[in-house]
Structure 1
Amino acid sequence: MSTDNSTQAPRLQPAPTERNGGRILIDQLIIQGVKRVFLVPGESYLPCIDALYDHQDKIQPIVCRQESGAGYMAEAHGKLTGEPGICFVTRGPGATNASIAVHTAYQDSTPMILFVGQVGNDFAEREAFQEIDYRRMFGQMAKWVAQIDRTERIPEFIARAFAVATSGRPGPVVLALPEDTLWGKASVPDVPRYRRAHAAPTPDAMDELARLLAAAERPFLLLGGSGWTPQAARSIEGFAERFGLPVGVAWRRLECFDNHHPNFAGHVGWGMPESLRRRVQQADLLIAVGTRMGEATSEGYSVIASPLPQQRLVHVYPDAGELGRVFHPTLPIVADAPSFAAAVDRLAPARERTGSGAAYQARRAHEAHEEYLAGQEPKAAPGKLNLNKVACHVRDHLPADACLTVGAGNYALYPHAYHRFRGVGTSLAPTVGSMGYGLPAAIAAKLEDPRRTVVCFAGDGCFQMNLQELGVAMQYRVGIVVLVFNNGIWGTIRAHQEREFPGRTVALGFDNPEFSELARAYRGYGEIVDSDEAFGPAFERALAFANAERLPALLELRYDPDGIAPGMTLSGIRADALARQSEA
């Protein structure tokens, strides 16, 4: 006989046992589904470290070499999974080192939680050893910054941190942990696992979107931001196909749409080809989903003007506070990417858009994709090693689900110009342009999915900002491939310098170690490559080593520094700048 549970007395919860703050905190992380934390150990949060001892079967602690590396790994984990990446650092210097990852997570809209040890409340406001007010320090670069001053409130703060990090526009949360909170004891119940709140479009908004699509002659779909899922990507593909929409991806968000899809138009932002720039500028309807359309994507708010875009703008974003803040939209829609994708799954073209109208739109999308493909042939470059050909070789010899990571620098333009990303999880790139990101991100990607091929592109300067994290790859047997672009200069800044002050080069070059030897010091594989003919076989050897030995493999690419970007040379930039000066 069935029983109506609603008539039964509520089930009594067992009385909570007394635990110290560190154990309470780690118990909450387990409840929230955390399976991995990235940390640099510190005495300021010892009770948390001790609590991990009893839960090594549930949470894997990844011991990093420097806090920026730990933070970047947590941020990359958040990008890949959509769940907050968790990082622990000690107070003072540990927190300042980790701040670069918090800034990255904020501008990249990545869910992340940074736990920072803190002096005890009994020493607060005395400038005690390594004391910093984290509310003031992180105030403008995090969604929420708080300090847990009472042991019994730890479950409340942890649950809220997960909700804040993932709701609306995702982003970082920083929680400071005073020593007396962690060492203190309390009998407090756990808080259940958080549930993510989704913002979805209203029926009226979808009706208006349908009317705008019916009236548009040159619509363009621009995708970006975070929180994309494979299902959302498939739904958006169907939407683009039904309406004949050319699809672009925002700056460094190449994973948001399958680059092989016949509607894919290219990477919108700094360095985009003129044909794509015109297509976005001349669109009479721009549907921007998930992206803020920041400075890089809008090319300094010119291709998409602020505050009044020349295109009718449908701006779909999960945070209402962003809509109308920089760009005035024709139609603002408060929705996250999965919810919007589910809604457009049910949207069909109006009757007048069938027949010749539909064929016209499909032809426009096809033309956009053909223009994109036309730029996929490797450009010429000076010297024996052509980086354009390197990027094309990598593109043509990796599995479809391979993940590419980059930090910041002109070298990153090569994979972004030539690689055809397959969708969610295939790219990790900081839109904030932070250096040193590629190697930690590659390690995080491989830890999350050991079966996936992961390749890190890194400039010689970028790589040296976090090369010590090779120790993490060695310790945890992480078989990644690292391509170090060794030209002995701060290339991006050199290009800007030649453009603005041609021929006045100073403080932009440096001597490098032999990176291949460094890789071998970390028990990995290292090889120098300096010609087109040598790259293919070397890349094959590096992949084979990484897969077989589960250790890092590094190829040091030595090339002519004059080849500064796809289709560009430093000498050409200097010549153009000198010519402009002579005409002025």
Structure 2
Amino acid sequence: MSMQCPSDALVRRNGGQILVDQLRRHGARRVFLVPGESYLPCIDALNEHRGAIEPIVCRQESGAAYMAEAFGKLTGDPGICFVTRGPGATNASIGVHTAFQDSTPMILFIGQVGNDFVEREAFQEIDYRRMFGPMAKWVAQIDATDRIPEYVARAWRVATNGRPGPVVLALPEDTLWGEAEVADAEPMARLHGYPGQSQLDELKARLAEAERPFLLLGGSGWTEEAQQQMTAFARRFNLPVGVAWRRLECFDQRDAQFVGHVGMGMHDQLRQRLADTDLLIAVGTRIGEATSEGYSWITSPTPKQTLVHVYPDPEELGRVYRASLAIDADVVGFAQSLDRLQPDAQTSWQDATQQARQQYLATLEPQPAPGALNLDRVGLCVDKLLDGKGCVTVGAGNYALYPHRFVRFSGLGSSLAPTVGSMGYGLPAAISSKLEFPERPAVCFAGDGCFQMNLQELGVALQYRLGIVVLVFNNGMWGTIRAHQERDFPGREIALTFTNPAFTTLVEAYGGQGRVVERDEDVEPALRWALEFAERERLPVLIELRYESDYIAPGQSLNDIRDAALARISAQAASE
């Protein structure tokens, strides 16, 4: 029960009680934590909110931070994470960095030494303002118990408004153990930025002048209504639509307007289409390094394309690209305003949009692959069995190209992928998805190296009875780095292989079940079994995929990469 009191009858509470009361008042429903003595009053205060705030006890702070970040992606509300000072904070920093580059609302609370010990390098003491300053929207330390409501309310507002992102608050022990009679701060409604009418008029005029327009969607903060409004706009103007790197949930890819995933690994025809477009409408995306493929198909600072850039942070607009029309608006406000835009005449690029769609559909065909197991077919099978339902998660690695290419994502909540490219993300993200949407399937794609960075979080799936499905791509190496090594130092492979455990035995130790798949014909039966087992038993399932290690990406092999690199080096030597 929350401790709500009229202002003339304030109850004296300790800092932990005040903080958790404030979180509940702002709508927190779940917190992810690794317990620590440095914030015991907060842990104790959760007793007063049983049934309202669910504590998820994680096994390591990076897993907790990833789960909180995934919660922020799924809901639009800040993911709440508690960790202890020092090592707990450093472990959690990877989740904060992910939230920063992915523009995800998140609040990390860190226990801190008391103010009577500060600046003595006390046990596990770190200056969190200096540590987290470059990778958070706001970092602060609450040094007075009666100011906790003020700080929490501001943290919630900063994390969710403008360009969303992480906030870090340090909690000195004397602040949490201290007591105060203070009123809770009331939550504020989320703010949305809208384009001006003159900007909408200019957008419409540029569309009327265009011959090869392209709509690129990305970023965070989307709602179902905003996606519906954006889809209606794309249909009215018959625009080809792409999603930015790892923003696969921003548009329903089964829709006829969708033409591809823009960024690393996209197909050549889409890359050329982006380079040739005469009007690029980029909404919610920074068009960062991964999306722009190293700032190649779009150049900085002045793109050759006419660029309409819509983004909720005026400091980002013009930072990398000089837009012809810059609009300071968030995706919700911009999408809502698009209802006013109607084409005055039939657009001239219908055939181009249809062609782009057909080129995208052609990429869903599996490519030849060495060995008995074709990973393209694994991605296609997941797409078939999920049929637009559930969530697919990944971490980082070439294996992620298979779901990115072959799964048709269906909108909000269908994908959780770190744009920052951090490993170990997929399993915690799948857990967070299953906690939030227990009726939906959650399928994690994980490389054998990526999976082992946070496999201990299977304990969370066991403890909370979460039926997640994990596909482990076992090639016994750091595959992405191996591909880079063959490009730059062909034939000189070293220090990139490892010996794996028995993954199926490992998942059994966590109460689940596992199978090994080595042939195409076994993929669908194994996936059907895994989804059914996970749903029925509410326990984790793992499918270990064993395949030819030379097979590194869709339609690509290490041998091909090595041969191309050797030919390039030979040609360079001959020309010198």
Q: Please give the range of the TM-score, normalised by the shorter of the 2 chains.
A: over 0.9
* SS in structure 2 of the partner of residue 173 of structure 1: strand
Q: CA deviation at 1:346?
A: 1.7
Which residue of 12, 22, 25 corresponds with 1:28?
22
Verify the 8 A CA contact 2:388 2:408 in the aligned structure 1.
Answer: no
> Aligned partners of 1:473, 1:447: CA distance in 2, in Å?
9
Q: CA deviation at 1:401?
A: 2.3
Verify the 8 A CA contact 1:243 1:362 in the aligned structure 2.
Answer: no
> Aligned partners of 2:131, 2:368: CA distance in 1, in Å?
47
* SS in structure 2 of the partner of residue 123 of structure 1: coil
Verify the 8 A CA contact 1:410 1:564 in the aligned structure 2.
Answer: yes
Which residue of 100, 116, 122 corresponds with 1:122?
116
Deviation track 1:41-79 (CA, whole Å, cap 9, x = no partner) reads 000000000001121111000000000000000000000
Q: CA deviation at 1:362?
A: 2.2
Verify the 8 A CA contact 1:108 1:431 in the aligned structure 2.
Answer: yes
AA aligned opposite 1:237: T
Q: CA deviation at 1:12?
A: 6.9
Match in the other structure for 1:563: 551
Check if 1:42 corresponds to 2:36.
yes
Question: For structure 1, which segment, 493-502 or 226-235, has the greater mean C-alpha deviation from structure 2 after superposition?
Answer: 226-235
Deviation track 1:369-397 (CA, whole Å, cap 9, x = no partner) reads 11100111111111111101111111111
Question: For structure 1, which segment, 380-389 or 40-49, has the greater mean C-alpha deviation from structure 2 after superposition?
Answer: 380-389
> Aligned partners of 2:349, 2:224: CA distance in 1, in Å?
25
> Aligned partners of 2:340, 2:310: CA distance in 1, in Å?
17
> Aligned partners of 2:567, 2:512: CA distance in 1, in Å?
48
Match in the other structure for 2:277: 283
- Unmatched tracts of structure 1, length 5 or more: 1-10
* SS in structure 2 of the partner of residue 389 of structure 1: helix
Check if 1:133 corresponds to 2:127.
yes
Q: Report how many aligned residue pairs link the two structures.
A: 568
* SS in structure 2 of the partner of residue 174 of structure 1: strand
Q: CA deviation at 1:532?
A: 0.7
Match in the other structure for 1:513: 501
Match in the other structure for 1:312: 306
Q: CA deviation at 1:194?
A: 2.8
Which residue of 87, 94, 97 corresponds with 1:93?
87
Which residue of 342, 354, 374 corresponds with 2:362?
374
Check if 1:180 corresponds to 2:174.
yes
Structure 2 counterparts to residues 123-162 of structure 1, below 5 A:
123-162=117-156
Match in the other structure for 2:318: 324
* TM-score (ref. length: structure 1): 0.96
Deviation track 1:167-208 (CA, whole Å, cap 9, x = no partner) reads 100000000000000000000000112321111111111111
Which residue of 242, 246, 265 corresponds with 2:259?
265
Structure 2 counterparts to residues 439-478 of structure 1, below 5 A:
439-478=427-466
Q: CA deviation at 1:13?
A: 3.4
Q: CA deviation at 1:399?
A: 3.8
Match in the other structure for 1:111: 105
AA aligned opposite 2:370: P
Match in the other structure for 1:17: 11
Indicate the percent of aligned positions where both proteins have the same amino acid: 67
Q: CA deviation at 1:403?
A: 0.5
Check if 1:582 corresponds to 2:570.
yes
Question: For structure 1, which segment, 479-488 or 392-401, has the greater mean C-alpha deviation from structure 2 after superposition?
Answer: 392-401
Deviation track 1:110-150 (CA, whole Å, cap 9, x = no partner) reads 00000000000000000000000000000000000000000
Check if 1:383 corresponds to 2:377.
no
Which residue of 333, 341, 344 corresponds with 2:335?
341
> Aligned partners of 1:20, 1:13: CA distance in 2, in Å?
17
* SS in structure 1 of the partner of residue 326 of structure 2: strand
Match in the other structure for 2:517: 529
Match in the other structure for 2:239: 245
Verify the 8 A CA contact 1:243 1:361 in the aligned structure 2.
Answer: no
Q: CA deviation at 1:302?
A: 1.1
AA aligned opposite 2:520: D
* SS in structure 2 of the partner of residue 301 of structure 1: coil
- Unmatched tracts of structure 2, length 5 or more: none
> Aligned partners of 1:535, 1:334: CA distance in 2, in Å?
47
* TM-score (ref. length: structure 2): 0.98
Distance 1:13 1:186, change over 3 A: closer
* SS in structure 2 of the partner of residue 455 of structure 1: strand
Deviation track 1:263-300 (CA, whole Å, cap 9, x = no partner) reads 11100101111100011111100000000000000111
Q: CA deviation at 1:363?
A: 2.0
Match in the other structure for 2:422: 434
> Aligned partners of 1:269, 1:417: CA distance in 2, in Å?
11
Check if 1:52 corresponds to 2:52.
no
Deviation track 1:199-248 (CA, whole Å, cap 9, x = no partner) reads 11111111111111111111100000001111111111111111111001
Verify the 8 A CA contact 2:98 2:420 in the aligned structure 1.
Answer: yes
Aligned residues: CA RMSD: 0.9
* SS in structure 2 of the partner of residue 322 of structure 1: coil
Verify the 8 A CA contact 1:445 1:454 in the aligned structure 2.
Answer: yes
Check if 1:203 corresponds to 2:197.
yes
